[in-house]
Structure formats: C-alpha cells, structure tokens
Amino acid sequence: MDTHPGAAASTLHVFVYGTLRRGEANDINRLWPAPHCLGPARIRGCLYDLGPYPGLVLGGAGWVQGELYAITAELEHQLDVIEEVAPVPSGEYTRRFVQVELDGRPLACLVYEIAPQRVQGVPCIVSGDWLRRV
C-alpha cells in the first residue's frame, strides 16, 4: 500500500473517476465524514469499462475525467475498504499518489489504479469519462 508522505499533517485529496463520482453507485458524497468537493479534474491515463465499474491505468497520452475531493483520514480508510485494498487487499486496485493540477497549483492526490492484468482485452472508454461511457 502506498503511503502519502506527511498525510497525517496535511489535507488529504482523492481523485475519483467511476462509481465514487457524484450520483453514481458508490457516490463519495454519501459517505461520512462528508468530503469537500474541490471540483472537476483530470489525470493522464486510460479508463477501462469493466461493466458495473471502470478501471484506471495511469500514464499515456489520454485523459481521464473525474472529481477531486478533500477528505479525512477516516474517509480514506472507508475508500480503501470500498476499493478492496484494506483490510485484506484483493489485488484488483492499488493505492497511488499522483500530482493533479487544481486552479494552476499542483496537489498530491490519492487515486485507485486497477491492476493492468485485470484490463487485458477490456475495452477502453475513449472519452475518458465514466459518466459518458455509452
């Protein structure tokens, strides 16, 4: 599990791109303590359609659309459970910390990346936006 240097002393941020987005099945806004939405964001990567949920592989030339939130350590733990990286990792997702840009300033942000072997032969969502996957 990746750890964020200085996370205990700073605000935590998470980039969500699939079922944790507003209005989706696992909407982060329904969790407690409530997150604070910082706005839409995007990161480099490829989004894959796994049926009921997407998987993100970081890097490459494409962009993946999502939302950026400020969260508490307590909410971060809940997200780890939802994404099955804790208490016992399933091997499907890995926690990563990447830089995103918000209003021209870089922020370290948590993102859950799918294991690349889980998306072999799976179609890419060309728009990079789970909400526009159809």
Structure token digits, residue 85: 């990286």
Which domains does the chain possess?
Answer: 7-127 (3.10.490.10)
pLDDT of residue 62: 95
Residues taking part in catalysis: 83
Strand partners, 111: 96
The share of the chain scoring above pLDDT 70, in percent, equals: 92
What confidence category does residue 10 fall into, taking pLDDT thresholds of 50, 70 and 90?
low
Q: SS3 letters for 47-66? A: EEECCCCEEEEEEEEEEEEE
Tell which wins on pLDDT, 97 or 8.
97
CA end-to-end span of the chain: 33
Secondary structure letter of residue 124 according to DSSP = B
Please check whether residue 93 is in contact with residue 112, taking contact to mean a CB–CB distance below 8 angstroms. Answer: yes
What percentage of the chain carries pLDDT values higher than 90? 84
User: How many angstroms from the chain centroid is the CA of residue 107?
Assistant: 14
Average pLDDT, the chain: 91
- Tens digit of each residue's pLDDT (9 = 90 or more) over 56-110: 999 999 999 999 999 999 999 999 999 999 999 999 999 999 988 788 888 899 9
